[in-house]
Amino acid sequence: FGENEKFNCSICLDLLKDPVALTCGHSYCMSCITGYWDQDDQKRVYSCPQCRQTFTPRPVLGKNTMLAEVVEKIKKTKLQAARNAQCFPGSGNVECDVCTGDKNKAIKSCLVCLNSYCQNHLEQHETFFKGKRHNLMGATGQLQEMICPQHEKLLEIFCRTDQQCICYLCTMDKHKNHETVSAAAERTEKQRQLGEMQRKKQLRIQERQKELEKLREAVESHKVSFEPYQLQQRGLRNR
């Protein structure tokens, strides 16, 4: 458990809200412990949900201001951490190519400019290229792998003859007269083939399971039919 877990309410398991501290030392949300004790009103004996120490009469609860201040600081720390996670790249995230100094986390990559952009620089990019269609995708750190090393153009065509991705200039060069389709169409076809393979594999597994079930039933049936014979043989031996 993290250091902040001790400031969680053991009833709702969330960070304390309007915290109250009982005389036994355990703390709860005001609404949580109030609701918990409301169920014990008929018994007129109230207990701590954690240590079970009992209180009679019902304690008067008041907000623990010192504990509330600590919880508020924890909330602010968590909120700031969440904001940083959204704005700044962590391991596995993509950095904005335009930011200088501390780089923000990129949210989109442009397949025309071959750059990745954070929210601010994406808005500038959209304004600058207003009216021009730029192909944007989710931020990726593999832009260079999507570019033809020979022509520095996007690998948006798939050559079925050579089974590789190529750019449109490649179709006029060494891949001329080859069977080609768009990379998107090939990806869709490959996904369809994969789905079909998985479906057939699942059918084979189901058929094997049925065969095993039949075999198990046959063994059980054989055991049942063999039992009278075993009993008869035991009876003969015991005479």
127-136, 158-167, 206-215: segment of lowest average pLDDT: 127-136
Q: 71 is in which domain, residue-wise?
A: 3-87
Gap between the terminal Cα atoms of the chain: 70
Same domain, residue pair 135 and 178: no
SS (H, E, C) the chain: CCHHHHHECCCCCCECCCEEECCCCCEEEHHHHHHHHHCCCCCCCEECCCCCCEECCCCCCCCCHHHHHHHHHHHHHHHHHHHHHHHCCCCCCCECCCCCCCCCECCEEECCCCEEECHHHHHHHHHHCCCCCCCEEECCCCCHHHECCCCCCECCEEECCCCEEECCCHHHCCCCCCCEEEHHHHHHHHHHHHHHHHHHHHHHHHHHHHHHHHHHHHHHHHHHHHHHHHHHHHHHHHC
pLDDT at 86 over 70: no
Q: Give the global pTM.
A: 0.36
Q: What pLDDT is attached to residue 235?
A: 64
Same domain, residue pair 77 and 17: yes
Q: What pLDDT is attached to residue 222?
A: 72
We report the CATH number of the domain holding residue 24 as 3.30.40.10
* Domain tally, the chain: 3
Q: What pLDDT is attached to residue 228?
A: 67
Give 128 or 166, the one with higher predicted confidence: 166
pLDDT at 2 over 70: no
Same domain, residue pair 27 and 106: no
Same domain, residue pair 167 and 126: no
Q: What pLDDT is attached to residue 1?
A: 39
Same domain, residue pair 108 and 122: yes
Q: What pLDDT is attached to residue 185?
A: 85
Same domain, residue pair 221 and 158: yes
Same domain, residue pair 97 and 82: no
Q: What pLDDT is attached to residue 83?
A: 54
- The pLDDT of 165-183, averaged and rounded, is 89
Q: What pLDDT is attached to residue 135?
A: 72
We report the CATH number of the domain holding residue 234 as 3.30.160.60
Domain finish residue from 146, 161, 188: 146
Same domain, residue pair 118 and 189: no
- The pLDDT of 29-43, averaged and rounded, is 88
> From its phi and psi, is residue 209 left (phi > 0), alpha (psi between -120 and 50) or beta?
alpha
Same domain, residue pair 71 and 110: no
Same domain, residue pair 65 and 111: no
Categorize the per-residue pLDDT at 3 as very low, low, confident or very high, splitting at 50, 70 and 90: low
Q: How far is CA 19 from the centre of its chain?
A: 32
pLDDT at 192 over 90: no
Give 232 or 218, the one with higher predicted confidence: 218
Same domain, residue pair 10 and 62: yes
- The pLDDT of 79-88, averaged and rounded, is 54
100-114, 155-169, 216-230: segment of lowest average pLDDT: 216-230
Q: What pLDDT is attached to residue 198?
A: 84
Same domain, residue pair 139 and 174: no
